[in-house]
Amino acid sequence: MTTLSIFQESRPETPEQVTQNPQEIARLLNEKGIRFEQWATRSLPADASTDAILEAYGDEIARLKQEGGFVTADVVGLTADNPEKEAFRQKFLDEHTHSEDEVRFFVRGQGLFYLHLDQQVYAVLCQQNDLISVPNGTRHWFDMGPEPEFTCIRLFTNPEGWVAEFTGEEIASQLPRYERLAGAA
């Protein structure tokens, strides 16, 4: 189930607030400038092609492109049988920023976004049908877990995609990882 856990930067071991209410999650994230919404499920086979996925969510993608100035959308996914899964996981576990918004819609599976906002960290376990938009310059990281299973639609303003700018901060290593937070959901 989609879950938001809010941690104080000074006490990263235990969340001060946890909610699984989608409206409350959206409200709390929106207060911090983070877009969160849930889209209606589309009936797609597990092996749906990129084109089929983009077509199924075409109206929503067109709306986001118009609202946010996005020029391209693609589909990315990872499965537990991928031999590079640990390398992919490590690539996103350190705090970083981007020069453009990071927009993800979970077509299937789940992943955990950590948003370092002011003196707090908002850990958002996103699942199928969740859309999250992390504004450019927001300090964050992503944990897909040791056995990743997800497919996401991504939107970009730059057709070449985004580049991570690592902050060098240690906060990401101080908070509970996917195994603990997703297991508690």
Confirm whether residue 98 is marked as ligand binding.
Answer: yes
Question: Smallest Cα–Cα separation from 152: which of 77, 79, 90, 66?
Answer: 77
Angstrom CA distances, 138 to 47, 109, 116, 148, 183, stand at 33, 24, 7, 24, 26
Q: Are 159 and 94 in contact (CB under 8 A)?
A: no
Q: What is the DSSP letter of 129?
A: T
Confirm whether residue 116 is marked as ligand binding.
Answer: no
Confirm whether residue 13 is marked as ligand binding.
Answer: no
Question: Smallest Cα–Cα separation from 76: which of 43, 108, 41, 44?
Answer: 108
- Phi, psi angle pair for 44, to nearest 5°: -130, 145
CA-CA distance, 176 to 179, in Å (whole number)?
A: 8
Confirm whether residue 96 is marked as ligand binding.
Answer: yes
Q: Are 132 and 103 in contact (CB under 8 A)?
A: yes
Residue that the structure tokens 């504004």 belong to: 135
User: Which segments are annotated as binding site?
Assistant: 96, 98, 102, 140
User: Which segments are annotated as binding site for Fe(2+)?
Assistant: 96, 98, 102, 140
User: Which segments are annotated as binding site for Ni(2+)?
Assistant: 96, 98, 102, 140
